[in-house]
RNA sequence: UGCCGGAUGGUGUAACGGUAGCACAGCAGACUCUGGAUCUGUUUGUCAUGGUUCGAAUCCAUGUCCGGCAGCCA
């Protein structure tokens, strides 16, 4: 994905070259280009600003921006903001930031924006009034750029609606919402014509104008397309085009009290922006005839956009519904939209997942019309694969057990050389302090270990990574019988370069020098849900994992005091970690907070479970 | 019982009338100063039944199962 065969873009972030993806949508785009249908491909990513973006949106972003970069096109970012009661600027801002983060270094030169404040102005094309707002690509135009907004087209949309009325294919209907439902019929029973269906064009014009002027309360009238109340496709049974909402809009303020419906706004927004391929998810498939109907009725002078549908992403052990994510946030079951346990883009970013990993994941799952359920293990693999290549290795002990090397001179210390990244020799080495008193992981000692346990046991030997082989001579317990300290001896010749350096011991464990260690809060995350399909039946909240967050105080090697928020770390043998924004910069009151992005694969855990 | 769409190993995805492949997961082994990484091997699949064809996952027919659609949400 980072090196499409159709372009010379070099691999990003050291990721290996991957062939350009192919799928049925890219096939269509390639064929359309081949047939000379378009001079330039324009796609769009059109979220509604009513929540934060999640990994399902990431799939769509990768598809739409991926097509733009592979076919030398553009992908517009557009707020699909036609419902003032659900949308907020906070969401506009988070969406914009998340998109930019995800495409950075990959397709940021394909991001279609427009000068701030610009709306679609009428022009004359082939003797017809036309509205066209082509994208400005990339920054540096002097002008401040912003995303597109469907709400910037409210005036053109209103003009188009008037045209449908004048043409006699749209009418003002006085039915209440409940009556409208009843008249619509059901999937296997045709609907009935509204009693207001045959109003004169003049009356419709008058009424629609007065709707816009604010003469009628919410819910009293709608503008409807006049299509066919007996159509087998429900969306062709005189769908509502406009409804009355006396509500403040986050982008247009109080300018309007009638708002277009999705079906009316979307196809025309696509047209206005010159979109060639309007790619959406499967549930809009039945809307496509309406999408086409509206555009065709208006006899527009430029080429029409075409809609294509693909299957949205479903992932095991999580939920994707914006409504349910909002519920978790509102009910404080998670801290916020960027809670690292959430599948939101901002949550995953905070957790330490990189954009490269997300893109690689999108590449691997592909694009089809089959509505499946993707194993979260595919995501986890993409994350580990990416982090393994980029993470700086560090030593940190999450649940400390004190040990004393009795034959190491008191008061003495030294430093040992530690490899920063075995996957990247260029990353070099660092010096880590070593001394008589250390911390090791509680898990790395067992008094009565099971078979095949390679770590420390009474009388047993283990290698301290980058340092000496030690032998456990004695386990000291407290009054309750729990082991609180280990007395060990070291083979002082077994350090790298020493006489017995090549002695084989079965286990190697990590450690930290006790007097040099710095403390850090470490947040250990696990799956948010305990079942693969929390959405499947009943209340998803009953499947919340009570152990999805565990906070511990870890002892870390001193170099972690200079940890940087943009870097990724592997705490050796534990997992991948990154600095959380809750951390305070290194002052005398420094506070370090790390998030565990993901554990290392643990085949021992599997082995232990098997018993 | 209306309309639209879909069905390939456990999961996701390729094969576009010519040897069913890849990834994840699983299993077995090698290697390892991370029980990580890496490497090797390996179990498991074309929804069913007919038809066309020298040859069908692919084309046709019938059936089965699954998903979506009845907001003045998107």
For A445-474, how does the pLDDT look when each residue is reduced to its tens digit (9 = 90+)?
A: 999 999 999 999 999 999 999 999 999 999
Residues A422, A335: Cα–Cα separation, whole Å:
36
Q: Which of A86, A197, A312, A389 is catalytic?
A: A312
| Of A30-39, A45-54, A135-144, A180-189, minimum mean pLDDT range | A135-144
The rounded mean pLDDT for chain A is 95
Q: Is the minimum distance from the CB of A91 to strand B below 7 Å?
A: no
pLDDT category at A142 given cuts 50, 70, 90 is: low
Kindly provide the residue ranges of all beta strands, DSSP E only, lying in A80-158, ordered along the sequence. Answer: 111-115, 122-125, 128-131, 136-137, 145-146, 148-149
C1' of B65 to CA of A372 (Å): 15
Q: Is A322 a catalytic residue?
A: yes
pLDDT category at A141 given cuts 50, 70, 90 is: low
Q: Is the minimum distance from the CB of A86 to strand B below 7 Å?
A: yes
Q: What is the pLDDT of residues A247-277, one digit of tens each?
A: 999 999 999 999 999 999 999 999 999 999 9
Residue A9 has pLDDT above 50, yes or no: no
Q: Which residue is nearest to nucleotide B70 (CA to C1')?
A: A186
A85: nt with nearest C1' to CA: B73
A382: nt with nearest C1' to CA: B24
Q: Is the minimum distance from the CB of A221 to strand B below 7 Å?
A: yes
- pLDDT for the residue A283: 96
A22: nt with nearest C1' to CA: B14
Q: What is the pLDDT of residues A518-575, one digit of tens each?
A: 999 999 999 999 999 999 888 999 999 999 999 999 999 999 999 999 999 999 999 9
Contact A237, A228 (CB under 8 A): yes
Residue A425, both tokens: 């020799």
Q: Is A69 a catalytic residue?
A: no
Q: What is the DSSP letter of A227?
A: S
Q: Which residue is nearest to nucleotide B26 (CA to C1')?
A: A606
Q: Is the minimum distance from the CB of A181 to strand B below 7 Å?
A: yes
Q: Say what the ipTM of the complex is.
A: 0.97
Residue A422 has pLDDT above 80, yes or no: yes
Q: Is the minimum distance from the CB of A207 to strand B below 7 Å?
A: no
Kindly provide the residue ranges of all beta strands, DSSP E only, lying in A478-537, ordered along the sequence. Answer: 483-491, 508-509, 511-513, 518-525
Residue A139 has pLDDT above 80, yes or no: no
pLDDT category at A489 given cuts 50, 70, 90 is: very high
Residue A611 has pLDDT above 70, yes or no: no
Q: Whole-angstrom distance between the N-terminal and C-terminal Cα of chain A?
A: 42
- pLDDT for the residue A586: 66
3-state SS string over A418-431? EECCCCCHHHCEEE
Q: What's the whole-number mean pLDDT along residues A580-596?
A: 86
Q: What's the whole-number mean pLDDT along residues A132-138?
A: 91
Helix, strand, or coil (residue A8): coil
Q: What's the whole-number mean pLDDT along residues A184-213?
A: 97
Which residues numbered 149-178 in chain A sit less than 7 A from strand B, measured from CB? 175-177
A378: nt with nearest C1' to CA: B24
Residues A351, A364: Cα–Cα separation, whole Å:
21
Q: Is A527 a catalytic residue?
A: no
pLDDT category at A111 given cuts 50, 70, 90 is: very high
Q: What is the pLDDT of residues A424-433, one digit of tens each?
A: 999 999 999 9
Q: What is the pLDDT of residues A53-106, one digit of tens each?
A: 999 999 999 999 999 999 999 999 999 999 999 999 999 999 999 999 999 999
A453: nt with nearest C1' to CA: B35
C1' of B2 to CA of A104 (Å): 47
Residues A11, A3: Cα–Cα separation, whole Å:
5
Q: Is the minimum distance from the CB of A423 to strand B below 7 Å?
A: yes
3-state SS string over A427-467? HCEEEEEEECEEEEEHHHECCCCCCCCCCECCCCEEEECCC
Which residues numbered 44-83 in chain A sit less than 7 A from strand B, measured from CB? 46, 48, 80, 82-83
Residue A320, both tokens: 């994707």
């Amino acid at each position: 994905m980072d090196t499409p065969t159709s372009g010379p873009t070099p691999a990003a972030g050291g990721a290996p070259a991957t062939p350009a993806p192919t799928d049925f949508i890219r096939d269509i785009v390639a064929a359309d280009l081949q047939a000379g249908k378009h001079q330039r491909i324009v796609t769009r990513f059109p979220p509604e600003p009513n929540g934060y973006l999640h990994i399902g949106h990431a799939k769509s972003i990768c598809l739409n921006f991926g097509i733009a970069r592979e076919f030398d096109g553009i992908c517009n970012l557009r707020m699909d903001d036609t419902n003032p009661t659900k949308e907020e600027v906070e969401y506009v801002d988070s969406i914009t930031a998340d998109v930019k983060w995800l495409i950075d270094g990959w397709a940021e030169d394909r991001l279609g924006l427009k000068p701030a404040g610009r709306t679609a102005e009428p022009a004359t094309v082939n003797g017809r009034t036309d509205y066209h707002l082509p994208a400005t690509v990339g920054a540096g135009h002097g002008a401040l750029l912003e995303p597109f907004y469907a709400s910037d087209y409210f005036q053109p949309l209103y003009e188009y609606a008037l045209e449908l009325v004048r043409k006699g294919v749209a009418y003002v209907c006085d039915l209440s919402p409940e009556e409208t439902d009843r008249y619509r019929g059901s999937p296997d029973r045709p609907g009935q014509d509204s009693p207001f269906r045959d109003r004169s064009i003049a009356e419709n014009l008058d009424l629609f104008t007065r709707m816009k002027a604010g003469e009628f309360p919410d819910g009293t009238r709608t503008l409807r397309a006049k299509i066919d109340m007996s159509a087998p496709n429900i969306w062709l049974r005189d769908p509502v085009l406009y409804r009355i909402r006396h509500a403040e809009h986050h982008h247009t303020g109080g300018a309007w009290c009638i708002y277009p419906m999705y079906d009316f706004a979307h196809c025309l927004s696509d047209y206005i922006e010159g979109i060639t391929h309007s790619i959406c998810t499967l549930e809009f498939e039945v809307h496509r005839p309406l999408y086409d109907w509206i555009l065709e009725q208006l006899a527009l002078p430029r080429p029409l956009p075409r809609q294509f549908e693909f299957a949205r992403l479903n992932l095991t052990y999580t939920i994707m519904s914006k409504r349910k994510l909002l519920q978790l946030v509102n009910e404080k079951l998670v801290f916020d939209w960027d809670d690292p346990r959430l599948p939101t883009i901002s949550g995953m970013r905070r957790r330490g997942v990189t954009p490269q990993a997300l893109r690689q994941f999108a590449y691997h799952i592909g694009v089809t019309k089959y509505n499946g359920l993707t194993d979260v293990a595919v995501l986890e693999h993409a994350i580990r694969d990416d982090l393994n290549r980029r993470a700086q290795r560090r030593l940190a002990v999450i649940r400390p057990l004190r040990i004393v090397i009795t034959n190491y001179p008191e008061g003495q210390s030294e430093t040992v050389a530690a490899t920063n990244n075995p996957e990247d020799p260029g990353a070099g080495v660092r010096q880590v302090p070593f001394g008589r008193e250390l911390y090791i992981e509680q898990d790395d000692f067992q008094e009565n270990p099971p078979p095949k346990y390679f770590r420390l046991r009474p009388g047993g030997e283990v290698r301290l990574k980058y340092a000496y082989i030690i032998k456990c001579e004695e386990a000291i317990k407290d009054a309750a019988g729990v082991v609180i300290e280990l007395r060990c001896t070291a083979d002082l010749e077994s350090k790298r370069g020493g006489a017995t350096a090549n002695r084989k011991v079965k286990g190697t464990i990590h450690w930290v020098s006790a007097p040099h260690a710095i403390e850090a809060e470490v947040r250990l995350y696990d799956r948010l849900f305990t079942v693969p399909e929390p959405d499947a039946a009943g209340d998803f909240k009953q499947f919340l994992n009570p152990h999805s967050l565990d906070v511990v105080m870890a002892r870390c090697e001193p170099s972690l005091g200079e940890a940087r928020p943009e870097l990724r770390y592997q705490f050796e043998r534990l997992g991948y970690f990154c600095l959380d924004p809750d951390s305070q910069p290194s002052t005398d009151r420094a506070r370090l907070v790390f998030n565990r992005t993901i554990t290392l694969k643990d085949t021992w855990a599997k082995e232990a479970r098997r018993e």
